[in-house]
Structure formats: structure tokens, C-alpha cells
């Protein structure tokens, strides 16, 4: 899912997203609540109509941003009291408020409200936080049952539990008792080493039902996604392809290219030979480097288009290789040809 934080996938139009083959995008509940406000969007006919996007939208719960962006945060049983990062308005987001906001946005997949503990986090703290998240998950689900809305969106629960396998298992079983339409793995890619992140996913996924979508939140680099798919994950959202594009960094199947590099000043080739995206079909690395050095908007637009094309195509290819029974081969080949690069760290 390309990430549309503030009601737009950064630098990209809905028509371009459609042509890229994006099937679903993510909207950020916290950001849209703060600006322009879910009531404004609701009165404009909902987020789909507001932003001109007809396909599905998943909204996060707001929890992650409340814990990463908001100020003067105070967590109580009821919910989280905070002052927003824009104008400091004192706000309470509770499970019920999060559901109301996501309902007003007109989301197709809503996320239960969760607490996101920081990394590192003690076992005791992770355990306390996890139990709170489970109680909030039950209240999130109950809110939709009270609404008794026939057209209600899918509701996903979020697995927490930090790096502790026992807590991840406890989280999954608690969520499954409540019963959700799909399950997300949260609290990953929050600063922990990659091996720890993989173990957190593994210790959750073993207990997740096979017939529900599994969604790893806020991930990842190309090989991380392929490794997660190998572990049974179905869905991802990540700011990486759009964010690093705005810094002039492009994905290829081998590595990341920083297009600012002087080596590309007179390179007549595309970002990636054989790529079908608009940028690669029409523009040289030389031109893209010039646009990025000159801080031209078209430069970051073109690299964003390429990176989204790359991500969406990578996931389509992975899906097809599963359907055709040759995923292991695809995984081995892709991961062994890909050279990780320091520039591709994620910070959401």
C-alpha cells in the first residue's frame, strides 16, 4: 500500500496511482484528524471522494503517530490524551474516537486502536502495554458491533508484544478471542535490529489464522518484504519508496541509486534498464540528476513514480510466483542479487 499520509500519496496524483496498478492505499488517521479534520472530509463525502481515489483505503488507528509525533502525551485506560504536533490542541483519542474518525473518513479497512511501546522495552512494560492494547482492541471491535452497520469496513487487530515471543503469542490469542477480519503485526521496524524484527514476525505469524489477511505495518525494504512474504505476510505499507524518492534515491532490483551522484551526470540510460515506468521510458539518469540537483519538483515526481512502480511490481511478481509455485526460487534469486544499502533505513 502506497502511503497517503495527508490525503495524498506524496507527489503523485490519483490517476498516476491508478495507472501504477495500486490496489489500495493507506491513509493516516492522526494526520487527517489534525488537518483538515475528519468532519470536513466526511461533509465532502468521505476520503475517497475528497482525494479522488475510488479503490480501497486502509486507515491506521492513529496510535503510531500519537506515540511518535504528539506532545504532552498521557496514556490512561480510557485512551491517550495529547496535544497535536501542529497547533497543540489538547485531544483525547480513545478506541471509540479512533473508530469514529475512521468511520467518518469512510475507510474500507480500519485498524483497532493500539499502544505502540518504544524500543527497547522491558518484558514487564511490553506485557502491560499489550494487555492494554487487547482491552482497547475489544472496545474497538465492540464499537462496530454497537454501530450495527451492514456496510461496516473490515476491522483488523494489531499484534503487539515487542521482541518477546511469548508476548507475541499472547497478543495473537487475545486478538483471536475477540475476532477480527484480519491481523496486523505492529511494533516492528521501530529501531530494533532486522533479525529481531524477523523473529517478532515469526513468533506472531505461527499462531495467526490461515484464512485471514496478515499485514506487517510500516515495512519494509525490498528484501525485507520478500522475507516477510516467505513468513506468510500478505500486506505491507511503507513510506520508503516515496520518501527516499524525494531525496533523489531510486530502487533497482540490485540496489538503491542516489541519483545525485556525480557518476550519473552524463549517464544517458534510464534508472533501470528494461523498467516500464514513465520515468524509465522517457528520461535519462543525466536528466533526473539535473532535476534533483536543481531541486525541481519534476525530479522527485519522476523518482517517486519509478519507486512506486518498482514496489508494486515487486509485490505483483512475488504474488504471481506463489500462484505458479515458484516463490522459493524467486525469493532466492531476488534476495541474493540485492545489495542492501545504508540509505534505505525506514523511519516512519
Q: Which residue in 30, 164, 287, 338 binds a second copy (CB under 8 A)?
A: 287
Contacting a second copy within 297-316 (CB under 8 A): 297-302
The number of angstroms, rounded, from the C-alpha of 59 to the middle of its chain's C-alpha atoms is 10
Phi and psi based region of residue 307 (left: phi greater than 0; alpha: psi -120 to 50; beta: remaining): alpha
Of 77-85, 169-177, 209-217, 290-298, the window that binds a second copy (rule: CB under 8 A) is 290-298
Of 101-109, 171-179, 295-303, 311-319, the window that binds a second copy (rule: CB under 8 A) is 295-303
3-state secondary structure of 212: coil
The residues facing 74 across adjacent strands are 81
Give the Cα separation of 218 and 223 in Å (integer): 14
Backbone angles phi, psi at 172, to 5 degrees: -60, -45
Give the Cα separation of 160 and 101 in Å (integer): 22
The residues facing 110 across adjacent strands are 59, 155
Q: Are 95 and 136 in contact (CB under 8 A)?
A: yes
H-helix or E-strand spanning residue 26: strand 25-27
Q: Which residue in 286, 322, 335, 340 binds a second copy (CB under 8 A)?
A: 286
- Give whichever of 32 and 112 is closer to a second copy, judged by the CB atom: 32
**Cell triple for 3:** 502511503
Q: C-beta of 294: minimal distance to a second copy in Å?
A: 5
Of 21-29, 95-103, 217-225, 284-292, the window that binds a second copy (rule: CB under 8 A) is 284-292
60 part of the active site: yes
DSSP secondary structure letters along 191-233: S--HHHHHHHHHHHHTTS-TTSEEEETT---HHHHHHHHHTT-
Contacting a second copy within 233-272 (CB under 8 A): 265-266, 268
The residues facing 71 across adjacent strands are 83
- Give whichever of 51 and 197 is closer to a second copy, judged by the CB atom: 51
Q: C-beta of 19: minimal distance to a second copy in Å?
A: 11
Q: Which residue in 253, 293, 322, 341 binds a second copy (CB under 8 A)?
A: 293
Name the catalytic one among 19, 87, 237, 267.
Answer: 237
Between helix 297-323 and helix 222-230 the angle, nearest 10°, is: 20
Q: C-beta of 70: minimal distance to a second copy in Å?
A: 17
Q: If binding means CB under 8 A, how many residues of this protein chain bind a second copy?
A: 39
Instruction: Tell me which residue has cell 556525480.
Output: 262
Q: C-beta of 236: minimal distance to a second copy in Å?
A: 23
Q: Which residue in 19, 21, 44, 269 binds a second copy (CB under 8 A)?
A: 44
Q: Is 180 in the site for a second copy (CB under 8 A)?
A: no
Phi and psi based region of residue 218 (left: phi greater than 0; alpha: psi -120 to 50; beta: remaining): left
Longest dimension (CA), the chain: 63
Q: Which residue in 25, 38, 50, 133 binds a second copy (CB under 8 A)?
A: 50
Phi and psi based region of residue 52 (left: phi greater than 0; alpha: psi -120 to 50; beta: remaining): left
- Give whichever of 26 and 155 is closer to a second copy, judged by the CB atom: 26
* Enzyme catalytic residues: 60, 237
Enumerate binding residues for a second copy (CB under 8 A): 6-8, 10-15, 35-36, 40, 43-45, 50-52, 265-266, 268, 278, 282-284, 286-287, 289-291, 293-294, 296-302
Amino acid at each position: 500500500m502506497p502511503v497517503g499520509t495527508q490525503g495524498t500519496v506524496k507527489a503523485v496524483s490519483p490517476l498516476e496511482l491508478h495507472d501504477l496498478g495500486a490496489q489500495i492505499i493507506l491513509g493516516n488517521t492522526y494526520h487527517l484528524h489534525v488537518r483538515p479534520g475528519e468532519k470536513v472530509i466526511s461533509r465532502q463525502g468521505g476520503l475517497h471522494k475528497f482525494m479522488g481515489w475510488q479503490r480501497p483505503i486502509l486507515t491506521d488507528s492513529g496510535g503510531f503517530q500519537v506515540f511518535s509525533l504528539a506532545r504532552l502525551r498521557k496514556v490512561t485506560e480510557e485512551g491517550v490524551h495529547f496535544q497535536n504536533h501542529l497547533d497543540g490542541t489538547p485531544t483525547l483519542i480513545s478506541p471509540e474516537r479512533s473508530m469514529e474518525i475512521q468511520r467518518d473518513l469512510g475507510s474500507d479497512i480500519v485498524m483497532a486502536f493500539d499502544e505502540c511501546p518504544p524500543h527497547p522495552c522491558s518484558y514487564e512494560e511490553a506485557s502491560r502495554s499489550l494487555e492494554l492494547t487487547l482491552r482497547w482492541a475489544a472496545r474497538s471491535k465492540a464499537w462496530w458491533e454497537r454501530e450495527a452497520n451492514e456496510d461496516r469496513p473490515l476491522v483488523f487487530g494489531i499484534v503487539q508484544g515487542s521482541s518477546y515471543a511469548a508476548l507475541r503469542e499472547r497478543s495473537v490469542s487475545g486478538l483471536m478471542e475477540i475476532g477480527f477480519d484480519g491481523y496486523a503485526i505492529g511494533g516492528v521496524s521501530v529501531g530494533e535490529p532486522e533479525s529481531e524484527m524477523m523473529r517478532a514476525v515469526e513468533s506472531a505469524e505461527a499462531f495467526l489464522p490461515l484464512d485471514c489477511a496478515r499485514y506487517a505495518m510500516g515495512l519494509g525494504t525490498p528484501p525485507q518484504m520478500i522475507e516477510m512474504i516467505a513468513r506468510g505476510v500478505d500486506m505491507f505499507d511503507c513510506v520508503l519508496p516515496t520518501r527516499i524518492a524525494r531525496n533523489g534515491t531510486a530502487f533497482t532490483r540490485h540496489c538503491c541509486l542516489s541519483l545525485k551522484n556525480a557518476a550519473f551526470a552524463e549517464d544517458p540510460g534510464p534508472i533501470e534498464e528494461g523498467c516500464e515506468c514513465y520515468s524509465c521510458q522517457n528520461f535519462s539518469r543525466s536528466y533526473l540528476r539535473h532535476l534533483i540537483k536543481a531541486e525541481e519538483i519534476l525530479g522527485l515526481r519522476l523518482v517517486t513514480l519509478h519507486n512506486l512502480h518498482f514496489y508494486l511490481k515487486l509485490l505483483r511478481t512475488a504474488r504471481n510466483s506463489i500462484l505458479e509455485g515458484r516463490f522459493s526460487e524467486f525469493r532466492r534469486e531476488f534476495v541474493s542479487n540485492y545489495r542492501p544499502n545504508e540509505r534505505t533505513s525506514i523511519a516512519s
